[in-house]
Chains A and B, each alone.
Chain A
Amino acid sequence: ETGVTQSPTHLIKTRGQQVTLRCSSQSGHNTVSWYQQALGQGPQFIFQYYREEENGRGNFPPRFSGLQFPNYSSELNVNALELDDSALYLCASSLVGTDTQYFGPGTRLTVL
């Protein structure tokens, strides 16, 4: 157990809809990263938040956005869903000054 939780476990949406995924980090972990993992692929870095500010971003369009809250929780929002957004979405938390990331179990998003 990493102490990182994600909700919901599974989610089905239709193309064009919006979705919000949630992550609760380990207590004291003030850095959170989000990843998209397509079937059979490695996780792709979406972005990282530190102290509620975006601290790094991968090659994802602006319709992928995030929020981080003072209570170590965070959200990933995806607007205008596309079929290719179907994937496992992972969040990972870490303590600033350390590089070890602890992953949650993920949210499986299916876009129909």
Chain B
Amino acid sequence: EDQVTQSPEALRLQEGESSSLNCSYTVSGLRGLFWYRQDPGKGPEFLFTLYSAGEEKEKERLKATLTKKESFLHITAPKPEDSATYLCAVQVVSGGYQKVTFGTGTKLQVIP
């Protein structure tokens, strides 16, 4: 069974204090790995898609990387508006069907 584990469950940072969120996965036939940001009471907002080990993508203060077993979301010099829950998801294709499995998320709080 496909599994996605995110750590830590919660993270509290001072403004400007850089850190990384981890997403480890166990799947058969990874098609892609996704990072989303979710604010309370809202739907997830797409951030990145990664397809192969070694791939990196950046957007403002965020940088996502991928290895064969895990992905990291690096947050450089975070601001209070970066506070949100960050979700990781993996997509697999099996027997012609697609399936997406999400982790439980990391709740990030950035304190001014």
Q: List A residues at the B interface (Cβ < 8 Å).
A: 2, 4, 33, 35, 40-45, 48, 55-58, 90, 92, 99-106
Which residues of the other chain, B, contact A56 by a CB distance below 8 angstroms?
97-99
Contact pattern, B 44-67, Cβ under 8 Å of A = 1, otherwise 0: 111001000000000000000000
Which residues of the other chain, A, contact B99 by a CB distance below 8 angstroms?
45, 48, 56-58
Q: Known contacts being A41-B104, A42-B102, A57-B97, is A102 close to B46, with CB within 8 Å?
A: yes
Category for how many chain B residues contact A:
20 to 34
Do residues B97 and A90 form an inter-chain contact, with CB atoms below 8 A? Answer: no
Q: List B residues at the A interface (Cβ < 8 Å).
A: 4, 6, 31-32, 34, 36, 41-46, 49, 87, 89, 91, 97-105
Which residues of the other chain, B, contact A2 by a CB distance below 8 angstroms?
43, 45
Q: Known contacts being A57-B97, A99-B32, A99-B91, is A44 close to B46, with CB within 8 Å?
A: no
Which of these, B43, B87, B97, B102, contacts A105 with CB under 8 Å? B43
Which residues of the other chain, A, contact B31 by a CB distance below 8 angstroms?
99
By beta carbon, the residue of chain B nearest A33 is B100
Do residues A105 and B98 form an inter-chain contact, with CB atoms below 8 A? Answer: no
